[in-house]
Amino acid sequence: MEENVEKQVFSMPRIGDKAPDFKAVTTQGDMNFPADYKGEWVILFSHPADFTPVCTSEFMTFASMQEKFAEVNTKLVGLSVDGLYSHIAWLRTIKEKIEYKGMKDVEVTFPLIEDITMEVANKYGMIQPGEATTKAVRAVFFIDPEGIIRTIIYYPLSLGRNFDELYRVVVALQAADEFGVAMPADWRPGDDVIVPPAGSCGVAKDRMEAKDDMKCYDWFFCTKPLDEKKVWDAVKK
C-alpha cells in the first residue's frame, strides 16, 4: 500500500506576477483585491499581530505618512491574521493612548484586512514557518496600477520597517517607468539615473534615448542627470 503523505505546498507570488486576487473584510469595509485599486499603486503589507509594540510603531509611522503616499497615487493596505474586532480595538487604542516619537492622536484610516483563516497570508507567502507558523512576517508588496507585483520586501518579526525606504521605492519605480531608466544604489529624486544598455533591466530599446548629457564609463555603465522637479512633476501628477 502506498504511503499517504500529506504535503502542503506553499506558493509565493514573485516580482512581475499578477497580484493574486482575493475578497476580504477590512476595517474600512469589504475589499476586492486588486480590482478595487485599478489605476493606483498599492502597498499591501502584513504585520505579525495587533497589540504588539513594533507593529504599533509601524502603524503610527505609516498612518502619519499616508498623505505623502497619496500624493504619489499610492494607497496602503494592511493585513494580519487577527480578527476584525481585534483590529478595531487596537487601532482605537493607538489613537486614544499611544504617543510615540512626537506622533499622537494617530488615526489609521487605511484598510486593515482580517485574515483569521490565513487564506490571504498564505496566498502571498506571508507565513514563513521558519520564523512563525501562526503569524505573518512583515511582508511588503508594491503593486502597480495594472495589478502587477513590482517589488517585494520581507522583514522578520523583530525588525520594524524603514518607511522612508518604502516611499523611496514607490517614487523610484514610478520614475523608472516614466523616464525609461533604472535607478542606481540609494537613488533619490535629483540624483543621476542609469541609462540601461538596450534590452536590459526591462527597458525596451524604443525607450532608449542617446543624449549629449549622458556620461558613459564603459558600454554597460552610462548615467544621465534627471531633474528633481521633472521627477516630482511625473510622480505627483
The residues binding ligand BEZ (CB under 6 A) are 48-49, 52-55, 157-158
First to last CA, the chain: 65
Least Å distance between CB 81 and ligand BEZ? 11
Our CB check for ligand BEZ shows the closer of 132 and 234 to be 132
For residues 11 and 133, is the Cβ–Cβ distance under 8 A?
A: no
Least Å distance between CB 138 and ligand BEZ? 8
Nearest to 122 by CA among 134, 130, 112: 134
Least Å distance between CB 236 and ligand BEZ? 32
Our CB check for ligand BEZ shows the closer of 55 and 139 to be 55
Our CB check for ligand BEZ shows the closer of 153 and 234 to be 153
User: Could you tell me which residues come within 8 angstroms of residue 30 by beta carbon, excluding any fewer than 6 positions away?
Assistant: 23, 24
Query: Amino acid letter at 52?
Result: T
Among 55, 201, 216, 222, the active-site one is: 55
Least Å distance between CB 151 and ligand BEZ? 23
Residue 231 burial by Cβ neighbours in a 10 Å radius (0-12, 13-18, 19+): buried
Our CB check for ligand BEZ shows the closer of 160 and 225 to be 160
d(CA 195, CA 224): 7
55 catalytic per annotation? yes
Q: 494592511: which residue's cell?
A: 78
- Using DSSP's 3-state secondary structure scheme, residue 46 falls into strand
Query: Would you name the residues annotated as active-site residues?
Result: 55
